Structure 1
Amino acid sequence: MSRNSFYQLQELNINNVAITNTGMVFKLIEIDKKLQITWRWDSFSTGKTHQLQWYFNENENQNKMYEEINKGLTIQNFIDDGMTKIQAEEWFNISKSNSKEKRDKLIHEFSIKYPELWSKITG
């Protein structure tokens, strides 16, 4: 939060915290040793309100939690840019592929499956 002055922390009680930024809210609530994270975003580009929710065990690996949340947010951003959910998930998998050979294969399949979208992506 020190890196971005637009973020604000609101502690509603010991088990209910909200982190806010312009148009965006992360709510973290602990219920029965489970962490519920709710993200709500009022999109400037589409005017739509988006909401995603995740549930984690009390001792869940924080890196795993971050990866799952990052995946959901990234996919939502692709959807907000005009992709369908399926297209966004496929594009996310392409972007996270570690193997050049696998990535090239996935890109080829994506370009054939969605030629109009591929044309927009490649300009």
Structure 2
Amino acid sequence: MGFNINIDLAGAKDKSLSKLLLSSARQYLREYGEVRDLSLDSAARSISLEILPVGECEPIRATVFGYGLATDGSGRGHLTFEDLAFSRQWLTMLATRLLPDKRLPLPSGTPMGLLQTLL
């Protein structure tokens, strides 16, 4: 008689990383609004974020598709992506225009080696 334990290790890892990234996102974006949710899907290589902007009544959802991590020549870390979408069309259009190289700078001091290992 054996035990049949079906453990979703990737799902558990994604949930743990989502909580860690949520905490960091809350600190990084606190002046812009309240980060309510963050979920990472490593299989789909996507990150979704819900934020209630300062002075707004409705939250905004942002999703990064095809994420990756890169370091530039100065050692600054960046979140790279294939596509970015918001629950507000005008924000998606603005992001497309302002981020043509499809990368977002990460806060200085971001542990890139650790993130690259985990993501």
TM bin (shorter chain): 0.3 to 0.5
TM-score, normalisation: structure 2: 0.38
Q: More helix by proportion, 1 or 2?
A: 1
TM-score, normalisation: structure 1: 0.37
Larger Rg: 1
